[in-house]
Amino acid sequence: MLHGSSAVRHALGLQRTQVLPDLTKIPPDLYRQAWAMLTKVPEGFHIDSKKEIARWFFGALGIVLACTFLGKLWDLLLPPNKGQRIPRWVVTMVVSSYILMFPGIIYPVITVDVHVTDPKSGLTLPAFATFMNYPGDVLNESMWGIIKLLFPGPASFLVGFYGLVVPAIKFVLFAKILKLKEFSKRTAETTASLRYNVSWLRFVSKWDSPKLFAYVVLLELFGMVSHEPEVHSRPILNKGFALYLVFSIGTLLASVAIPDDVRSLIPGSTIDDLQEVDETSETTPAADAAAVTPKPEKKEATTPTFFWLFGERHMLPVTLGLLLVFLIALSLALCMNLFSMTYKPKYWLMGPYEESFKALGVPETGGASGMGRIMGKALTRLESLDVSAVMCTLLIVIFTLGFTCLDMFALTIASYHVSRSVDQEKDVKKERWARALKFVKFAHLYQFLSMLDVFIVGSVVSMITTLASLAGAGFYLSFDRGMIFVFLAEGIHIMTHVAVSNFINEKCEQPAT
């Protein structure tokens, strides 16, 4: 592997002990000829075009949807026993998604072409060829490739955990849930075990996505490095990203669709309805809940939240205050820069001891960006069906922002019904609490799908892996002050969700989250 001045010395045919000449005095034709020999593109190597990547993405999406449709058709033609089986369309969705995961790990997830041109001499230097000896002078990175490159450093274990270990854990949980639903007799013990495994599956499901957010961040920042005519940068999300994204979203939706034997509270029902014995079941929901969380003898909180201090009457004003602070913090996070990248080509060319490279006139470049800018660019390119814009919109607009806000609004509506139940008649009070519990169920669903926390972890992963793999090539990534408001918004989101849901669940004698 050739680094910095060693690669240039080899390209010019110089020995290790020979002094490097001033690059500005080397004939450009001789330099380009020597450089072409050093960075010869291997046979069969090419950079995928956006149309090719779009075909991979929509093809993978079509495969998962087709398998899901066939599973649904199977359910309609041969209905499974109610309450005994996982819907077959969920199984086919999981299987097809995991089939796409393996090429998603092996194929390149991001491709970056960075070339540096010295305005004085006209010499063009590919940024990555001298550092990592990438084929075709470009960074063509796959998840498996970056793990091997960084191994045995801690950054490789970080990428491997989210990219390989978490999907394996999800698969084990899927298999265990399938066994409990298909081959186990329904008892209070198996129902409790099923609910436990489903809750863990839903929690784990989105945590194979941080690396996807890391590449979305790098896509934006590598694009800002470009400074024509001295620095040319062209980043694209490649087919590996498309395949892994379809796998991640497919398994996430499948985990949410798996029934956990807890009946949903329908409009018009009351809390007393939950205590009735289900004729098709051997246990009641109250007994199932007791198998997980023992029923307290007194109406006291087993999981303390500040709503036990404020009480039911003031629950809505407190939740509205938290919602307001959340929206302000999120708005500031969207308006401000969250991270920045600096490219120092002189450092990469000079090395610590090469004084002769100081004559090159390539300036430092870089820029800063954030969620708002990424979201704006994705939405403006959506009309042209730019596949990178479609994938960024899915991750940033829908999962990161959309479901997080829906969770907060559902919790606020639940608090509204609790506050309105104060000093009401018994039947009205039960109806209000039933509606509050219903919106808490919705909030749990949105919480499983929201990815603001995954975005934060993905940003950290992108910074660690960039510093570990590309700092020697002159690329430096750092956080900006806007990340403070992202952490604040997510902290308020988690605190509000835990406080509201646990308060209502414990009042209704449901398992706390």
10-residue mean pLDDT profile of the chain (513 residues): values are 47 53 52 48 51 84 92 82 73 92 87 72 62 56 75 73 87 87 71 82 87 84 76 81 90 85 38 39 40 41 52 82 94 88 63 45 72 80 73 85 93 90 81 88 90 87 73 75 91 91 75 48
Any domain includes 121: yes
CA distance 333 to 487: 9
**How many Cα neighbours within 13 Å face the side chain of 486?**
27
Name the one residue in this structure whose structure tokens are 């509000």. Answer: 496
CA distance 435 to 325: 25
Q: What's the pLDDT at 405?
A: 94
Any domain includes 108: yes
Residue 224: which of 107, 367, 75 has the closest Cα? Answer: 367
CA distance 498 to 513: 7
Rounded to two decimals, the pTM is 0.76
Return left, alpha or beta for 250; rule: phi > 0 is left, psi -120 to 50 is alpha, else beta: alpha
Q: What's the pLDDT at 469?
A: 67
**Residue count of the chain:** 513
Any domain includes 300: no
pLDDT digits (tens, 9 = 90+) for 217-235: 888 888 777 777 777 778 8
pLDDT digits (tens, 9 = 90+) for 70-104: 988 888 887 766 655 778 888 899 999 999 998 88
Q: Is 236 helix (H, G, I), strand (E, B) or coil?
A: strand
- My answer on whether omega of the bond before 152 falls inside 30° of 0, hence cis, is yes
Q: What's the pLDDT at 307?
A: 56
Q: What is the DSSP letter of 297?
A: S
Name the one residue in this structure whose structure tokens are 């680094």. Answer: 3
Q: What's the pLDDT at 184?
A: 65
Any domain includes 167: yes
Any domain includes 47: no
The angle that helices 239-257 and 210-225 make with each other, rounded to 10 degrees, is 150
Residue type, position 79, single letter: P
CA distance 175 to 164: 17
Residue 98: which of 255, 257, 250, 259 has the closest Cα? Answer: 250
Cβ atoms of 421 and 411 within 8 Å: the answer is: no
Rounded to a whole number, what is the distance in angstroms from the first to the last CA of the chain? Answer: 51
Q: What's the pLDDT at 190?
A: 74
Q: What is the DSSP letter of 19?
A: P
Any domain includes 267: yes
Q: What's the pLDDT at 422?
A: 80
- The residue segments making up the domain with residue 118 are 4-40+61-291+307-507
Q: Is 415 exposed, middle or buried (0-12, 13-18, 19+ CB in 10 A)?
A: buried
Q: Is 125 helix (H, G, I), strand (E, B) or coil?
A: strand
Q: What's the pLDDT at 327?
A: 95
Give the largest Cα separation in the chain, rounded: 94
Any domain includes 299: no
CA distance 253 to 399: 12
CA dihedral 264, 269, 273, 279 (to 10 degrees): -60
Any domain includes 49: no
Q: What's the pLDDT at 265?
A: 31
Name the one residue in this structure whose structure tokens are 């060319």. Answer: 349
The angle that helices 50-77 and 239-257 make with each other, rounded to 10 degrees, is 20
- My answer on whether omega of the bond before 126 falls inside 30° of 0, hence cis, is no
State CA 417 to chain mean position distance: 33
DSSP 136-177: GGSEEEEHHHHHHHHTTSHHHHHHHIIIIIHHHHHHHHHHHH
Question: Domain total for the chain?
Answer: 1
